[in-house]
Structure 1
Amino acid sequence: MVCPEKILVLGDGKRQKEMRKYWKVRGVTVWNEEDSFSPEELAAIVFPVKVTHDTDRYVKLLSKISASCIVCTGILTEEMNRLQEKTGKTIIPLMEMDSVAIENSIPTAEGILQYVMEHTEKTIHRSDILVVGYGRVGETLVHRLLALQAKVTVLTKEEKDIARAKERGADAREPDSFSPGPYDVVINTAPALTVDKRLMDFLEGEAVIFDAASAPGGVDREEAEKQEIQTFHILGIPEKTSPVTAGEVICRAVERLLEKTTRRSEEWN
């Protein structure tokens, strides 16, 4: 940032603690909810990535902030949308910004690899791994799996993603052309129910399924239980496995927004 700002970081998770450390080192005045502060002085308010609790207590806070104060969260949950409606304040969903989503895909992909290594008994090297979905996380994950010399198959609906995955060195196909295989690991990154009975029926051997999609996930867990397939639903990966990096990603995004606000203000003056 061009000059030190005053920022309120809400939440007490590992990511939020690292965000406060990051900014304090850089001379920023950073508060949490329990601190004594003046809302009118805030340059930014950063809510946790996913707010699911009641937000009514923040209505008074947002009514006191200046018009230039930036209000951010990770994703716009129902609770955050209600807060927008009640206060008339725009709340920026940082995870919908391409730059943030791409940066965040790195700790997410590496965290998935950590879970795979902890809960399987084979090396990733030479393992047969099926990756469902080829969005930002899926693409980053496949890149790292191939670097570890895993045998990777990508399942995706988009022709361009199939072409891109093949160019990377993976096998790739549409769900309708999926065929049985002795997969060691199945990783779902798609935000929809994709790992269903049909796909599970195609799995041979003792595959382990890792679901990295947001709740409710993309794996039919009841079917997996029926077929006695071990399944892990791994949520909040960046904060759990790489809280420092996860916090820095959010901090840099907020700083970019503050710099844009400063430039616009200078242009108007």
Structure 2
Amino acid sequence: MLTGVNVLLLGGDARQLEIISKLCEHNATVSICGFEQKKELPEAAIPVELNRRAFSKLDALLLPAVGCDDDGYVHTVFSSESIRLTDELLAALPKSCVIYAGMAKPYLKELCARQQLQLVELFERDDIAIFNSIPTVEGALMMAIQHTDFTIHRSNSMVLGFGRTGISMARGLHALGSHVLVGVNRSEHYARAYEMGFEPFYTKDLEQYVMNIDLLFNTIPTMIITAQIIDRLQKSAVIIDLATKPGGTDFDYAELKEIKALLAPGLPGIVAPKTAGLILADCLSQLILEQTKRREL
């Protein structure tokens, strides 16, 4: 239980609704800001105005998946009012307050550093990233089906990167009967991909492997699908880039060459916001409980 723990949720999307419900179930004192247009919320969730007073007694400040943009504005789909994080607001937080966000851009990192506040980026955690790979794969497969005129079964697919999302992506394609090539840059990843029944290769040799690929999925957040790679793709190929914006694809060149290339970050919150919200809610409840226990020691 989180009795006596003060939490403020600031903006967000449908995922935050699950977090609000879970924290209320655990008896936390839950304040919300940026949800004026959402009527069906737990009665225990208290709407507050964005001011220093609302920040002054918090144990945890919960921000959306992308904490805020490069100018400090917090995205919310349930309010027409602007929400902006400033030094003045964060200065009102107790130094023991922890700020949670899916990921943090430089503005938020620098803001927390100036105010000497702990910042936790949830998407950096292995457990959340692995759980999130499930709706990510489902969303990526949905996009592949929508944007092709052939089946995934017996197609030639390629996954670049063999991390938490890449492994799940390759496994999903393989389960549907695709021949899956996996681009890796570490020998242990090469061995594991081979053991799992995929065809591994090193990304430095990417040009040699892309000629007959039907579906190309990228999880590497650096420019890897360059003009040179795109030139070697067949015209019917589809690129689905799952890496963090701006992705790892030369989208302008792909458009010039009339090859379909889609940037698709944040799929869990788009295709399965309830599941994605429950994943975050369970993790946040545990983290806040651990935070409270440490403070009591």
Instruction: Give yes or no for contact 2:126–2:164 (8 Å, CA) kept in 1.
Output: no
| Counterparts of 2:94 and 2:251, CA distance in 1 | 47
The 1:182–1:61 alpha-carbon spacing in structure 2 relative to 1, beyond 3 Å, is same
**Structure 1 residue 87 displacement after superposition:** 1.5
Instruction: Give yes or no for contact 1:183–1:205 (8 Å, CA) kept in 2.
Output: no
Report the secondary structure of 1:32's partner residue. Answer: strand
Corresponding residue to 1:107 among 99, 121, 135: 135
| Counterparts of 1:119 and 1:9, CA distance in 2 | 37
Aligned to 1:133: 161
Letter matched to residue 62 of structure 2: V
Letter matched to residue 5 of structure 1: V
Aligned to 1:168: 196
**Structure 1 residue 139 displacement after superposition:** 0.8
Instruction: Give yes or no for contact 1:74–1:94 (8 Å, CA) kept in 2.
Output: yes
**Structure 1 residue 180 displacement after superposition:** 4.6
Structure 2 residue 41 is matched with structure 1 residue 11? no
**Structure 1 residue 163 displacement after superposition:** 1.3
Structure 2 residue 20 is matched with structure 1 residue 20? yes
| Counterparts of 1:158 and 1:145, CA distance in 2 | 22
The 1:263–1:198 alpha-carbon spacing in structure 2 relative to 1, beyond 3 Å, is same
Q: Which moved more, 1:175-184 or 1:219-228?
A: 175-184
Q: Percent identity?
A: 31
Instruction: Give yes or no for contact 1:187–1:211 (8 Å, CA) kept in 2.
Output: yes
Corresponding residue to 2:227 among 197, 208, 225: 197
Structure 2 residue 244 is matched with structure 1 residue 214? yes
Aligned to 1:43: 59
| Offset from partner CA, 1:103-158 (integer Å, 9 cap, x none) | 22222222211211222222222221111111111111111111112111111212
How large is the RMSD of aligned CA atoms in angstroms?
2.2
Report the secondary structure of 2:190's partner residue. Answer: helix
**Structure 1 residue 69 displacement after superposition:** 2.3
Instruction: Give yes or no for contact 2:128–2:280 (8 Å, CA) kept in 1.
Output: yes
The 1:24–1:115 alpha-carbon spacing in structure 2 relative to 1, beyond 3 Å, is farther
| Offset from partner CA, 1:60-96 (integer Å, 9 cap, x none) | 3332333432211122211102211332212111111
Aligned to 1:63: 91
Instruction: Give yes or no for contact 1:9–1:31 (8 Å, CA) kept in 2.
Output: yes
Structure 2 residue 258 is matched with structure 1 residue 228? yes
Q: Which structure has greater helix proportion?
A: 1
The 1:76–1:183 alpha-carbon spacing in structure 2 relative to 1, beyond 3 Å, is same
The 1:166–1:3 alpha-carbon spacing in structure 2 relative to 1, beyond 3 Å, is farther
Unpaired stretches in structure 2, ≥5 consecutive residues: 35-46, 73-83
**Structure 1 residue 224 displacement after superposition:** 1.2
Letter matched to residue 101 of structure 2: T
Where does 1:81-160 land on structure 2 (aligned, <5 Å)? 81-160=109-188
**Structure 1 residue 184 displacement after superposition:** 1.5
The 1:58–1:205 alpha-carbon spacing in structure 2 relative to 1, beyond 3 Å, is closer
Corresponding residue to 1:54 among 67, 71, 74: 71
| Counterparts of 1:57 and 1:223, CA distance in 2 | 37
Unpaired stretches in structure 1, ≥5 consecutive residues: none
Instruction: Give yes or no for contact 1:68–1:261 (8 Å, CA) kept in 2.
Output: no
Letter matched to residue 49 of structure 1: A
| Counterparts of 2:94 and 2:291, CA distance in 1 | 13
**TM-score of the two chains, using structure 2 as the length reference:** 0.81
